[in-house]
Chain A
Amino acid sequence: MVFWKEFLPALFSGIVATLKLLAVAMPASVVLGVLLGTVRVYGGKIVKTIATAVVVVFRGFPLTVTLLILFFGLADFHINLTPYWAAVLGFTLCGGSYQSEYIRGAIRSIDKGQSVAAKALGMSKTQEIIYIILPQALRRALPGISNELIYMVKYSSLAFIIGVPEMFSIAKTFNSQWFMPIEVFSILAIMYLAMTTIVTLGFKLLEDKLKIPSTI
């Protein structure tokens, strides 16, 4: 059938494009989230305010608006991002802002004694954060982090509005040409489901691996 012959290779290229977006935006959003979250707990007044502003803005803006601003808006200031990089940046800022809240919450949940013990040993604030607080906080934040990354798999579809040829835009185009919504969108849905499942399983493995042994 002609449809399948055309659709499957196109879908494949769409999958590759989606994966390329996620491969950068996922780790970048986690790194940004850790930075923002940590700074919001431990930072000085100025950096704390900046970090808080970033979170408020990019958590407050609809992602579509963020993407349009990054792609079309910045072009007015002669900052020309390709659709791909505008999408990566948008996902990173949005995802990172959400991630930072999980991280911040996890840091706050670490009992005070850990920090006091680190200080009593003679650790500097930075050493305390890196060697004592974050290793514990990140473990606690894992379920939240994976949750947000699963969202990102799905909202990566929004990159279509700035013209990234990712898998949702491919599916949309094919459906308009052939009008085969059941075929097109169920296959698309299965692709997203496969990706979110991989993230879920990956994090399950990571959580098990990093679990701190206990007798209780």
Chain B
Amino acid sequence: MDNDIVLKAENLHKSYGKVKVLKGVSLEIRRGETKVIMGPSGAGKSTLLRCLNLLTKPDKGRVWLENVELTNPKVNINKVRAKIGFVFQEFNLFHHLTALENVMIGLTKVKKLPKKEALRKARETLLTVHITEDLWDKYPAQLSGGQKQRVAIARALAMDPVVMLYDEPTSALDPQLVGEVLQVIKELARKGVTSLIVTHEVDFALEIADEIMFMNDGKIVEKGPPGEVIFNPKHEVTRKFFEKISKPYGVGKYGVLERISPSII
């Protein structure tokens, strides 16, 4: 495998009963790249992301992280998962742990870092996502949605992952909180954190992505530079999708960029 490619999936298939969710998806991400997956609900975006760290087991196809094949049954999947940061739509912070403890638990229990070192690393990472000291001892139920998602990003990031996977990280947030989370993801990507992001935030994708993959009906229909895919798509379904989300009420008074608004930073 090309040394620069950190995550690679080949011909992934997944069905739930008779419903085929993934119909042969392949992708590669190089170190430092930011790729965005877009597409309508039910296209298989979340399933694809979950197949990449085997939270969902693909029926067919193979996945590699660096040079380790995750889909090889002999591989210790827990060890590989520790190197893949995963950020959930619903945050999934551990309810019984404070913000700081949420970030520390992976470091102490999975990476087996000494407590002192884990504490230092957790604090440092929380600051990276702009969670200030006054919030460290708060429990998830005491935090806003945006704060929760940033703690969740810190929890994943503190493990020094090879790649960060974000599954619609802002879809469960109130509109006014979306910006702070996108800002953090953007900053991390700019710092060279390899990222694969499923999102509906068009402006964000335009700004941050090295490549957009458009998914529909279990397949990657087209991919390319964001400007190309969004403004000049090759496929009818892609064009219709971006037209619809740019004119949610059927009236496109402004252009795509202005209309989709609050996410632009």
Residue numbers of A with Cβ under 8 A of B are: 113-114, 116-124, 127, 131-132, 135-136, 139, 212-216
Q: Which residues of B contact A122 (CB under 8 A)?
A: 78-83, 106, 110, 159
Specify the chain B residue showing the minimal Cβ separation from A113. Answer: B92
In angstroms, Cα B86 to Cα A119, docked, is 10
Chain B residues close to A by CB (< 8 Å) = 53, 55, 78-84, 86, 88, 90-96, 105-106, 109-110, 138-139, 141-142, 155-156, 159
User: Are A123 and B109 neighbours in the complex by a CB distance under 8 Å?
Assistant: yes
Say whether chain A's binding surface is mostly helix, strand, loop, or mixed.
helix
Question: For B81, what are the chain A residues with a Cβ–Cβ distance below 8 Å?
Answer: 119-122
B155 near A116 with CB under 8 A, answer no
Question: In the complex the two chains form, is B141's CB within 8 Å of A214's CB?
Answer: yes
| Additional A-B contact list (20), CB under 8 Å, known A121-B81, A122-B80 | A113-B88, A113-B90, A113-B91, A116-B92, A117-B92, A118-B94, A119-B55, A121-B105, A122-B81, A122-B110, A123-B78, A124-B78, A131-B109, A136-B94, A136-B95, A136-B96, A213-B141, A213-B142, A215-B141, A215-B142
Which of A116, A117, A132, A213 interacts with B139 by CB under 8 Å?
A: A213
Q: Kindly provide the distance from the CB of A117 to the nearest chain B CB, expressed in whole angstroms.
A: 4
Enumerate chain B residues within 8 angstroms of A117, measured Cβ to Cβ.
86, 88, 92-94
Residues of A within 8 A of B95 (CB): 114, 136, 212
State in angstroms the CA–CA spacing of A123 and B53 once bound together.
Answer: 13
The CA-CA distance from A135 to B83 in the complex, in Å, is 25
Chain B residues with Cβ below 8 Å from A123 are 78, 106, 109-110
Bound-complex Cα distance A117 to B93 (A):
8
Q: Provide the residues of chain A in CB contact with B141, threshold 8 Å.
A: 212-216
A116 touches B109 (CB 8 A): no
The chain A residue sitting closest to B80, CB to CB, is: A122
CB distance from A110 to the nearest CB of B (A): 9
Question: How far, in whole Å, are A214 and B153 apart by their CA atoms in the complex?
Answer: 21
Of B83, B86, B95, B159, most A-chain CB atoms within 10 Å: B95
In the bound complex, CA of A135 to CA of B94 (Å): 10
> Which residues of B sit under 8 angstroms from A124, Cβ to Cβ?
78
Judge whether A121 and B159 touch: CB under 8 Å: yes
What is the chain B residue whose CB lies nearest that of A122?
Answer: B82
Shortest distance from the beta carbon of A130 to any chain B beta carbon, whole Å? 9
A127 cross-chain contacts in B, Cβ below 8 A: 109-110
- Can you name 21 A-B residue pairings with CB atoms under 8 Å? A113-B91, A114-B92, A117-B86, A117-B92, A117-B93, A118-B94, A119-B55, A119-B78, A120-B53, A120-B55, A120-B88, A121-B110, A122-B81, A127-B110, A212-B139, A212-B141, A213-B138, A213-B139, A213-B141, A214-B142, A215-B142
- Alpha-carbon distance A61/B106, docked complex (angstroms): 44
State whether A120 touches B139 (Cβ < 8 A). no
A132 to B92: give the CA distance in the assembly, Å: 11
CB-based contact A120/B110 at 8 Å = no
| 4 cross-chain pairs, A with B, having the tightest CB-CB distances, nearest first | A122-B82, A214-B141, A113-B92, A117-B92
Most chain A beta-carbon neighbours within 10 Å: one of B83, B90, B92, B155 = B92
B55 and A116 within 8 A (CB): yes
Which residues of A have CB within 8 Å of B159? 121-122
Q: Are B86 and A120 in contact (CB under 8 A)?
A: yes
Report the bound CA distance from A144 to B86 in whole Å: 35
